[in-house]
Amino acid sequence: MPKLDRSPLPVAVEHDVPMPMRDGTLLRGSVHRPADGGPFPALLMRTPYGEDSFRTAPVTPALRAGFAVVLQHCRGRGSSDGEFRPWADEGADGHDTITWITAQPWSNGEVVMSGMSYLAGCALQAAATRPPGLKAVVASMTPHDFHDGLKYHGGAFALGSALNWGAFQTMLGLLHAAEAGEDVGAGFAAILPVMGDQDAVARTLPVGDIPGIPWWRDWTSHAERDAYWEELAETLRHDRIEVPVMHVAGWFDLFLAGTLENHRRLGGPLVIGPWSHLAPGASGTGRLFFGAAASGQAIGLEQQELAFLRGEDTGPAVKIFVMGDDVWRDEEAWPLDRAVETSYYLHSDGLLSPRPPTAYEPATFTFDPRDPVPTVGGPTLLPDPTNVGPQDQRDLERRPDVLCYSTEVLTSDVEVTGPVSVTLHAETSAASTDWTAKLVDVYPDGRAMSVIDGIVRVTEPSGIFTIDLVATSQVFKAGHRVRVQISSSNFPRFDRNTGTGRSGATEADLVVQHQKVFPDSSITLPIVPR
């Protein structure tokens, strides 16, 4: 019978500990530390999601690793005072919290930070203020910028995620205000219908008229990167971050581009698994199961993160999960130097081939924004948590406004690992339009499973446009086919392009868009020799 050599770990815990910020606002959190010994380094995590989000925090592993653990609520959330302003206060508040921690008698003066999504953003924003005592950060699945890759992708508004997250944060704010004794009846009356049927609300035009969310007009009225976004960007200056950072990403995470860009700018270890935003570390995503070995638990990810925070060697610089082969692989760097960028052309007859086209008649379709192509899978953050990751695209491919280009059946495995983009030679009849692209793995049984997708919003009637599909590591197996879908919408992941070229368009203003795609268009696939 196995016997574990484990001794009891007495722990001292304080809840709702007040931590004063520079403006006098009291933020609160819980402090967990070994009851004996010390002083200790501290692991700090900051959340805008309330106490529930801390129930999965690695408190016990961190305590056993020798850390005290501080779990703090962002201002205006949980038990903290103040007003929550997305991203605006996290750098200064993180700095002040670290200053508070290092002054405590149980602290040895060293602090590390960790988190996923907004929590990781809190850590990076704090690191950008260079607080004395901060030693390292683990940042998982978080954007690198608050405009590009968070609220806007290729110029299109990330409607689905903004609406879902904004409504949820609004509800948390109302509950916080109600606990403080404020009258929040009007706020609930505005937001409950939004939360009750987000699919219907997403069709609101102008999109800026969606009610109830305090920051909605700020997000929707600043489509371009202007002073509003530049002010927020000053809270996340990568050039000011000096501490080592470990990055964790998911192939189906909506912040994959942000995490990869954080890694490019900051260096440090990088782990990319076959995960989505709401299921980090899982062994299956969407309609595919990648095997038990695909999970974060299988590779000891939590232990790797704690080892990194302790300053220990965590092994290879890059660890990626190669889908299709369904194996983990260590790499020296990202992107892979040995990957060969290969163009596959979108032939007029629907063939996808590395051979350049010989006929140049365009493929055509008509896009009506009254009937947009629905979002089916991908890197989403929608109310339906099952509409994410790899999903069968066959129903979409029957639509007349979705063009499909497919290779011949593969006679050997083809590995695509690295950044992927589409160069689209296209033309529209409208003043503005969107061009969308999706990479698809077609199985021998006919399933057409999505891999990655992207969008670009344009105001030129014709031209050469680049659609960024971010990146993947996908082996298209022998017997499969590689497919590219081209269309003009992916709704509600992105807002509908009204075709008018102006903001404020209503349902009555929607313009039917007649589209042409020329066969010198191509997808660039980073193919790894095997």
User: Of 399, 485, 401, 493, which is closest to residue 439 (Cα–Cα)?
Assistant: 485
Which pLDDT value is given to residue 1? 81
44 sits in which H/E element: strand 40-47
Question: What percent of the chain has pLDDT above 90?
Answer: 95
**375 & 520 share domain:** yes
DSSP string, 384-429: STTS-BS-B-HHHHTSTT-EEEEPPPPSS-EEEEEEEEEEEEEEES
Q: Which two tokens stand for residue 518?
A: 């020329």
Q: Reply yes or no on whether the pLDDT at 370 is more than 90.
A: yes
**220 & 362 share domain:** no
514 three-state secondary structure: strand
Which pLDDT value is given to residue 56? 87
Does a structural domain hold residue 483? yes
Average pLDDT in the 209-232 region?
A: 96
pLDDT digits (tens, 9 = 90+) for 148-164: 999 999 999 999 999 99
Can you name the residues that pair with 141 across neighbouring β-strands? Answer: none
Which of the residues 89, 145, 253, 392 is marked catalytic? 253
Which pLDDT value is given to residue 273? 98
Which pLDDT value is given to residue 51? 87
CATH code for position 487: 2.60.120.260
DSSP type of residue 496:
P
Does a structural domain hold residue 358? yes
User: Of 220, 158, 196, which is closest to residue 378 (Cα–Cα)?
Assistant: 158
438 three-state secondary structure: strand
DSSP type of residue 378:
B
Q: Reply yes or no on whether the pLDDT at 234 is more than 90.
A: yes
Decide which of 201, 230, 259 is a domain's last residue.
230
Q: Reply yes or no on whether the pLDDT at 215 is more than 90.
A: yes
pLDDT digits (tens, 9 = 90+) for 314-324: 889 999 999 99
CB of 210 closer than 8 Å to CB of 204: yes
Q: Reply yes or no on whether the pLDDT at 74 is more than 90.
A: yes
Does a structural domain hold residue 392? yes
Mean of per-residue pLDDT scores for the chain: 97
Q: Reply yes or no on whether the pLDDT at 136 is more than 90.
A: yes
Residue span of the structural domain in which 358 resides? 340-528
Q: Reply yes or no on whether the pLDDT at 7 is more than 90.
A: no
pLDDT digits (tens, 9 = 90+) for 244-253: 999 999 999 9
Average pLDDT in the 58-76 region?
A: 96
Q: What type of residue sits at position 437?
A: A
**355 & 504 share domain:** yes
Q: Reply yes or no on whether the pLDDT at 94 is more than 90.
A: yes
Can you name the residues that pair with 366 across neighbouring β-strands? Answer: 514
Which of the residues 32, 147, 153, 277 is marked catalytic? 277
Can you name the residues that pair with 247 across neighbouring β-strands? Answer: 139, 270
**347 & 493 share domain:** yes
Can you name the residues that pair with 467 across neighbouring β-strands? Answer: 422
Which pLDDT value is given to residue 490? 98
Does a structural domain hold residue 111? no
Does a structural domain hold residue 166? yes
CATH code for position 162: 1.10.3020.10
Which pLDDT value is given to residue 201? 97
Confidence of residue 405 (pLDDT cuts 50, 70, 90): very high
Decide which of 203, 230, 257 is a domain's last residue.
230
**212 & 346 share domain:** no
Q: Reply yes or no on whether the pLDDT at 523 is more than 90.
A: yes
430 three-state secondary structure: coil
230-235 long-range contacts (CB < 8 A, ≥24 apart) are: 232/87, 232/88, 232/146, 232/147, 233/145, 233/146, 233/147, 235/87, 235/88, 235/90, 235/91, 235/125, 235/128
Least confident of 261-270, 353-362, 369-378: 353-362
Does a structural domain hold residue 73? no
Average pLDDT in the 508-515 region?
A: 97
**Is 117 a known active-site residue?**
yes
**218 & 344 share domain:** no
Please tell me whether the peptide bond between 354 and the residue prior to it is cis, using omega within 30 degrees of 0: no
Q: What type of residue sits at position 455?
A: I
Confidence of residue 359 (pLDDT cuts 50, 70, 90): confident
CB of 196 closer than 8 Å to CB of 411: no
How many domains is the chain built from? 2
Does a structural domain hold residue 164? yes
C-alpha to C-alpha distance for 453 and 472, rounded to whole angstroms: 10
Q: Reply yes or no on whether the pLDDT at 5 is more than 90.
A: no
Can you name the residues that pair with 522 across neighbouring β-strands? Answer: 345, 423
Q: Which two tokens stand for residue 372?
A: 């947009």
Can you name the residues that pair with 475 across neighbouring β-strands? Answer: 415
Which pLDDT value is given to residue 180? 93
Which of the residues 117, 421, 489, 522 is marked catalytic? 117
**Is 277 a known active-site residue?**
yes
Question: What percent of the chain has pLDDT above 70?
Answer: 100
Which residues, 6 or more positions from 103, have their beta carbon under 8 angstroms from its beta carbon?
none
C-alpha to C-alpha distance for 221 and 162, rounded to whole angstroms: 13
Does a structural domain hold residue 441? yes
Q: Taking the CA atoms of the chain, what radius of gyration do you get in angstroms? A: 24
Average pLDDT in the 61-87 region?
A: 97
DSSP string, 56-109: GS-HHHHHHTT-EEEEEEPTTSTT--S---TTTSHHHHHHHHHHHHHTSTTEEE
Decide which of 202, 230, 258 is a domain's last residue.
230
Q: Where are the beta strands (DSSP E) in 236-300?
A: 245-252, 270-276, 284-285, 288-289
C-alpha to C-alpha distance for 339 and 460, rounded to whole angstroms: 33
Which pLDDT value is given to residue 91? 98
Which pLDDT value is given to residue 6? 82
